[in-house]
Chain A
Amino acid sequence: MNRFALLSLYRSLVRHKLYAALNIGGLAVGIAVFLVLSLYVRFETGYEKWLPGYDKLYLTQEYWDMPGSPADGYSVSTMGGLIDQLREDFPDTVGTRFQETDANVVKGENATSEPFAYADSDLFEILRLPMIFGEAARALQAPDNVLINETIAKRYFPGSNPIGQTMTLTVLGKTANYRVAGIFRDLPPNTELRFSMLAKTPYPHPDKMWFHWGSSRAWTILRFETSQAAKSREAQLRGFVDRRAAKDQSTSVRNLSLKLTPIADIHLQSTPGRKMTAATLGIVGVLTLLIAIVNYVNLATARAGLRAREVAMRKVLGASRGVLVRQFLGEALLVALLAALGGLILAELGLPMINAAGGLKLSLDYAVVLPGLALLAMIVGGLAGLYPALLLSRFPAAAVLASSRSPGGGRVGARVREMLVVFQFALAIAFMIGTIVLVAQTRHVRKTDVGFRRDGLVIVSSTSDGAVTEPQLTAFMARAAALPGVRSVTTSDSSPGSSSLNSDSYAVAGKPEPGPSLQAIITSPNFYPTFGIKLIAGRLPDDSHRADDARNADDAARKIPNVVVNRKGAEALGFDSPEAAIGKTVGRSNPRTIIGVVENARFFSPRDPVNPTMYYYHSRFSTIPRTTLRVEGDPRETIAALRGIWRQIAPQVPFEAQTANQNMEEYYKADDRATRLFGIGAGLAVLIGCVGLWGLASFNTQRRVKEIGIRKTLGASATDIVKLLVGQFLRPVLMANLVAWPLAYVAMRTWLAGFDDRVSLSPLYFVAATALALTIAVLTVLGQSLKASRAAPAWALRHD
């Protein structure tokens, strides 16, 4: 490109400012959306990839094929002693284990909870976490050493060297002094590893369930040099499970298998919907970029048609075809680079907002982004520049100059452009339908009847800490119940947001062994009224029936305990109605008599089905007693009062309490985040689509100025002209629905299938999106159509 070519490009951009701004801006927005969503996808798919040698690390997961049980599916933790048994059976095993829990850091009278793990002393050989101070391998040899991360070091030893200092920790109910032997770097945000403190796994382990198959205690990580080696080991694990687990899990071992999952896959696999969310947002990013590119190329080539006369003139003046091709390509590349730069700036400006909306910590990595953008600009510039470069420079100059028409692609060009509008709007409408369904679903899960009254519930999880004694618990419960505004208090081992994973199978006549699996939840007095769970048949347990208390049943030999089941439990056990279950005894080796059936209560994610559940009753406290209070008024005041009481009764255990709504919020957060990101992406895609439509409308209106003049001299009114011009664009937008509806239907049905509790895919969502798209399209082209329709016909006729 010579100086004149640059100058003419600059003048052309300045002369058609609005066109240039919209066209370059549209591409820039597309690039920005793509950049931000790629960052998100990169973040989501980058979990554990920061670990040196991550591709050789495999997490051993238990897979339970037990539909209806809370244990169904994958479990990231295995039995604690798994790696010991693996080493016995496979001497070439290379691996490590750690047990994640919370540690209470005791300082004076008070304690605070921090994420902690017991780790084997070879942990750092396998997970090569970067150290700041100390030698990790040696530090994990002594049982009273602790390794802490930078944050813990700063929090508990501000301004002093923590090495060699003592920390008092309560771990799993046991308090001991530890010596700080090393500091490791804070783990990056994209990790499933949750510990900020490490100490050596006790040996022999005091947990009596440590070697119990079916318990979930530790992460077992194995290292294999090749994926083939991992695969062949996985194949051997079937026999290993049959051999080893059969001792503990006589019947249900058939449902258990061990899987080796690459450690980088854990994040996307561990939470339902996460993989689909990442994939969906990735697709939104790519499609938005595609819409922007199509737009840009479409407009650029359309405008280039208008330059046919200039090209012919240049040829007459002696420009060779090569020169012209270089000029057009150079121009297109330069403009695409401008747009890429604009996209980068927009992405940087938008990231804080996106991070806030999505609860993320994304940032641009220029070493990757800059070459990527340069490549993108070359592709887009090439696509946009190639058509005019090759086609226009080929036209015979004399014919172009003699003709009164511009060779803008004629009917074929117009049709191709119309198809591209159809494509763009199909995606835009599909995005709109997607956004509407996502918003409807995320609203639905907040409003739906979850089977208990979620408002006004306060949950104190501290009472389940192993360090809390029974007298402390009794005193706390009594004082909590006496607080103003507290209507009732109960304990249970499961509550909204946390659950016991215990389940058992009950043999039922006419069904194959071992029979349906029911989740076990242990309750205590006031459980049902506190939660507001409705009784639908039979009665609730109480202290006047001795067999109602499951512990009494254990004491008395062969006595059958009374239980309550939920509606799904009654169905799973094969009863025709809730009433039919009352008084019946189920289970052969573990008989239970059903005294009541209650409504299904969803304590967990709307994605997971409500489990068939069996509720046991303990007349004092449940085991693992999480306390739940039904309160009136502001729950924050109650929580503040409870904190005061707790500090007086059990100061050495950190106080933790939330409302049920806060706990449930955890289940909605990821989908809310995805909805917001999707909505932003979709909104911008629609915006880019509109920019394209506007540009095309402007181009077409300009091309049709003469026609408009003719029509007006023939008596067409302004309304006729507006109808003509607007109608021209409504057709492709309407046609776009033919593509968008089935696309959105399939996509949203797949997404909704990930939810057990979901909205139905109402046709209204589709109609609404179409109406919205039509309104937007009409508004986009209306302005220009009105302007064109008002121009004096004499001016229009002179225009040619």
Chain B
Amino acid sequence: MIRLEGIQRRYVSDEVETTALHDIDLHVAAGEFLAIMGPSGCGKSTLLNTLGTVDRPTGGRYMFGDRDLAAMDEKQLARFRAETLGFVFQSFNLIDELTIEENVALGLAYRGDVGDRRGRVAAAMDKVGIAHRARHFPHQLSGGQQQRAAIARAIVGDPKLILADEPTGNLDTANGEQVMNILTGLNDAGATIVMVTHSPSHADLAKRRIDMLDGRIVASAMRAI
């Protein structure tokens, strides 16, 4: 489904040039659950952001199915994100001024006609067990609940790909387990997931794992089933 060929990402500031990604080649098949591991600053999040088109590579090719994403303009990319991707962040990134329900509905806000909006929002909240908190504001919820709400927002639009950036990084063990259960459940149901994590045990729940160091993929392993 996803083919990255020679992807590069360089940041240039006034005096310093930093290379975050060196010639990354990566294939992700539909239905895969890929975990990305590596020390801080190795380029995991940059790679995830690149996959999510919220960061543009400075070199290489990014094919999503038969679409060349490098050839798309901002408007087309925004549409692509709205229709194809779901994001889950370490810091949840819920909008403080909106209720949980409104935050989840935001996942459909930029998608044109999607049919029964309310029904889909309710279903997504139900799926992650947060429906009873629909009218609350983010700050009234625990971290685990906030992350589940963020997952509901990511899946409400039935995305082809879910990108999760350290989704358990801000959670305690119990809540972390819960979130991982939701993610594996989604994967079992057919969702493609790419997840950045620091936790080896959570990485083990993925079907495949790659390790990164200094902007390069240094190891790749399939989970033994």
Contacts and interface: CB of A to CB of B under 8 A. Distances in A.
Interface in A779-800: 790, 792-794, 797, 800
Interface string A374-414: 00000000000000000000000000000011000001000
Given A404-B91, A405-B96, A714 B54 contact: no
Contact of A792 (B56, B87, B153): B56
19 contacts: A707-B95, A707-B97, A709-B93, A710-B94, A711-B110, A712-B54, A712-B78, A713-B52, A713-B85, A713-B87, A714-B81, A715-B79, A715-B81, A715-B82, A715-B83, A715-B111, A717-B110, A792-B54, A800-B91
B52 A718 contact: no
A714 B49 CA distance: 13
A543 interface: no
A720 interface: yes
Contacts of B54: 709, 712-713, 792-794, 797
A709 B81 CA distance: 12
Contacts of B83: 715
Interface in A686-726: 706-707, 709-720
A720 B74 contact: no
B97 A411 contact: yes
Among A411, A709, A714, A794, max chain B CB count under 10 A is at A714
B107 interface: yes
Contacts of A706: 93
B75 A715 contact: no
A793 B56 CA distance: 10
B79 A717 contact: yes
Nearest to B165: A797
A78 B117 CA distance: 84
What is the interface of chain A mostly: helix, strand, loop, or mixed?
helix
A792 B78 contact: no
Contacts of A711: 106, 109-110
Interface of A: 404-405, 411, 706-707, 709-720, 790, 792-794, 797, 800
A719 to B, nearest CB: 8
A717 B91 contact: no
Given A411-B97, A792-B54, A793-B54, A714 B79 contact: no
A713 B107 CA distance: 10
Interface string B88-111: 010101111100000000110111
Given A715-B81, A717-B75, A797 B110 contact: no
A717 B53 CA distance: 13
A720 B110 CA distance: 8
Contacts of B109: 711, 714, 716
Contacts of B204: none
Contacts of A790: 74
B161 to A, nearest CB: 12
B188 interface: no
A794 B74 CA distance: 13
Interface in B152-172: 153
B139 to A, nearest CB: 8
Contacts, number: 68
Interface of B: 49, 52, 54-56, 74-75, 78-83, 85, 87, 89, 91, 93-97, 106-107, 109-111, 139, 153
The 7 closest A-B pairs by CB, nearest first: A715-B82, A793-B54, A715-B110, A794-B55, A717-B78, A715-B81, A794-B54
A521 B106 CA distance: 80
Contacts of A792: 54-56
Contacts of B95: 707, 710
A717 to B, nearest CB: 4
Given A706-B93, A792-B54, A717 B74 contact: yes
A413 to B, nearest CB: 12
B89 A797 contact: yes
B110 A713 contact: no
Nearest to A790: B74
Contact of B75 (A411, A714, A718): A718
Contacts of A707: 95, 97
Contacts of A710: 93-95, 106
A792 B146 CA distance: 25
A718 B78 CA distance: 8
Among A411, A713, A715, A716, max chain B CB count under 10 A is at A715
Contacts of A712: 54, 78, 81
Contacts of A709: 54, 93
B189 to A, nearest CB: 21
B65 to A, nearest CB: 17
A793 B93 CA distance: 12
Contacts of B97: 411, 707
Nearest to B138: A405
Given A713-B54, A714-B87, A797 B81 contact: no
A717 B153 CA distance: 18
A728 to B, nearest CB: 11
B215 to A, nearest CB: 16
Contacts of A717: 74-75, 78-79, 110
A405 B89 CA distance: 17
A710 B107 CA distance: 10
A407 to B, nearest CB: 12
Nearest to B96: A405
Among A405, A706, A707, A800, max chain B CB count under 10 A is at A707
Contacts of A718: 74-75, 78
Contacts of B153: 714
A482 B139 CA distance: 95
Nearest to B139: A405
Contacts of A714: 81-82, 87, 106-107, 109-110, 153
A715 B78 contact: yes
B96 to A, nearest CB: 6
A645 B60 CA distance: 96
B25 to A, nearest CB: 21
Given A404-B91, A405-B96, A711-B106, A716 B56 contact: no
Nearest to B154: A714
A720 B75 CA distance: 10
A797 B88 CA distance: 12
B47 to A, nearest CB: 11
Contacts of B139: 405
Contacts of A411: 97
A716 B87 contact: no
Contacts of A716: 78, 82, 109-110
